[in-house]
């Protein structure tokens, strides 16, 4: 039996790699003053329809539950966030700086960098209209990636302005029901021949292509670029009006992070979405946020040689010289564990050589040898890196280990 297409098994080494990434996400989110929240993995289908329209429904795992309700596995976290904020935003001081790390699900064709499930960091800043909120989110996104070892020659954040394009289309007298077609053409222009883009855009081809070639400016983007430069992040950013993201969702500055070599899909993306709460039938609140998935990020880190070699690191392994010492050894193990140390020992009779090999394999820093000296209240303590071995009174074992870990 294999996992379903697009789903993953996480063996211990895979789980450790995923945990390393998520720990880094949480570390940087906390450094920026964000607090963690979570929500249910199952939501009413209507919530996703209101947020993204019927277009997203084809990608959802949705069904009618036993209560005759149309429900869906979460495909993204923002609708849940919007629902939660709408319900209780008056209970919190603004702006809200919230993050979450859900597992999300979409039924789409599995390919490189895109599966049917992934873990995703979501960071959102709600209740602040000014562009400094956008700069804060983009900086957090970049600092997370820098913290994982990626540098300016590895990644770039490409910035655009959805409001610029809205103003542009209105100035060109393009009906709103045709905007989606224009945005689709802009989004695909990087991957298609210019002739195809012109065919898609028709009479709009020349003015749109002029913008894409650098023939436009945005005060909002100028401000954001200056803000990133003030933080020492200018070399990571560039203005690129080809970044448009979803039509029904974003309202201002938008961004996506890519690897410089162009080998992978977008690593992260987000922007301002000031109208979402209002679309869900609640009062309007300004908001900006981004998402970063573990799949593309993990592939990029491995390709750049930045994935750490994660081993199971025990602080101590207790070795039994003879099976007669099992009860004594188990008592020592229990004492050390209750003091907060990670400790293991053989659960079945095992030769000492095998026990030492197990300790080495498990990455133990110290070995505690329980032998005939235990009758005198002593054990042997061996540090594997130096091979130094000393006798320690059982009553002083814990304090000796704690002192060595502090040292």
How far is residue 402's CA from residue 396's CA, in Å, rounded to a whole number?
A: 10
Report the number of secondary-structure helices (H) and strands (E) in the chain: 14, 17
CA atoms within 13 A on the CB side of 243: 25
159 CB contacts (<8 Å, ≥6 apart)? 138, 221, 224, 225, 237, 238, 239, 240, 243, 253, 254, 255
As given in the structure block, the two tokens for residue 290 are: 């981004």
Tell me what pLDDT residue 97 has. Answer: 98
In angstroms, what CA-CA distances link 331 with 230, 308, 318, 362, 394?
Answer: 58, 35, 11, 21, 11
> Considering the entire predicted model, what is its pTM?
0.90
Is 325:349 a contact under the CB 8 Å cutoff?
Answer: no
In CATH, the architecture of 316-406 is 3-Layer(aba) Sandwich (3.40)
How far is residue 210's CA from residue 197's CA, in Å, rounded to a whole number?
A: 13
Q: Answer yes or no: CATH 3.30.930.10 is held by domain 12-303.
A: yes
Tell me what pLDDT residue 247 has. Answer: 56
How far is residue 5's CA from residue 85's CA, in Å, rounded to a whole number?
A: 34
pLDDT along the chain (407 residues), means of 10: 94 94 98 98 91 74 96 93 90 96 94 92 96 98 98 97 95 92 91 94 95 92 98 97 82 96 95 83 85 97 93 91 94 97 96 96 95 96 96 97 90
All structural domains of the chain with their residue ranges: 12-303, 316-406
Residue matched to tokens 């500055």: 253
Beta-sheet pairing, 287-293 with 268-272: antiparallel
């Amino acid at each position: 039996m294999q996992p379903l297409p697009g789903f993953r098994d996480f063996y211990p080494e895979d789980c450790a790699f995923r945990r390393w990434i998520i720990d880094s996400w949480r570390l940087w989110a906390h450094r920026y003053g964000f607090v963690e929240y979570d929500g249910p993995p199952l939501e009413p289908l209507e919530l996703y329809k209101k947020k993204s329209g019927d277009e997203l429904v084809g990608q959802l795992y949705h069904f009618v539950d036993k209560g005759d309700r149309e429900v869906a596995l979460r495909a993204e976290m923002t609708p849940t966030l919007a629902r939660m904020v709408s319900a209780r935003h008056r209970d919190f001081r603004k702006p809200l700086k919230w993050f979450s790390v859900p597992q999300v699900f979409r039924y789409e064709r599995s390919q490189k960098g895109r599966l049917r499930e992934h873990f995703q960091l979501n960071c959102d800043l709600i209740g602040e209209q000014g562009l400094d909120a956008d700069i804060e989110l983009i900086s957090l996104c970049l600092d997370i990636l820098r913290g994982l070892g990626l540098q300016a020659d590895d990644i770039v954040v490409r910035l655009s302005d959805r409001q610029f394009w809205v103003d542009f289309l209105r100035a060109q007298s393009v009906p709103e029901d045709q905007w989606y077609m224009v945005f689709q053409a802009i989004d695909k222009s990087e991957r298609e021949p210019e002739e195809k883009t012109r065919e898609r855009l028709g009479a709009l081809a020349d003015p749109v292509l002029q913008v894409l070639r650098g023939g436009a400016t945005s005060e909002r983007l100028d401000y954001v670029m200056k803000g990133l430069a003030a933080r020492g992040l200018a070399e990571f950013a560039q203005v690129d009006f080809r970044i448009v993201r979803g039509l029904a969702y974003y309202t201002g500055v938008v961004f996506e992070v890519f690897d410089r070599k162009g080998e992978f899909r977008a690593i992260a993306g987000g922007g301002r979405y000031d109208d979402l709460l209002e679309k869900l039938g609640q009062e309007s609140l300004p908001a900006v946020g981004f998402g970063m998935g573990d799949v593309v990020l993990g592939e990029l880190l491995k390709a750049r040689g930045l994935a750490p070699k994660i081993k199971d690191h025990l602080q101590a392994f207790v070795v039994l010289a003879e099976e007669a010492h099992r009860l004594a050894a188990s008592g020592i193990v229990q004492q050390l564990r209750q003091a907060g140390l990670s400790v293991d020992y053989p659960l079945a009779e095992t030769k000492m050589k095998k026990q030492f090999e197990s300790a080495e394999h498990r990455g133990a820093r110290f070995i505690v040898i329980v032998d005939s000296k235990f009758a005198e209240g002593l054990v042997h303590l061996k540090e594997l890196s130096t091979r130094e071995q000393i006798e320690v009174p059982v009553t002083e074992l814990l304090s000796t280990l704690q002192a060595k870990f502090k040292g």
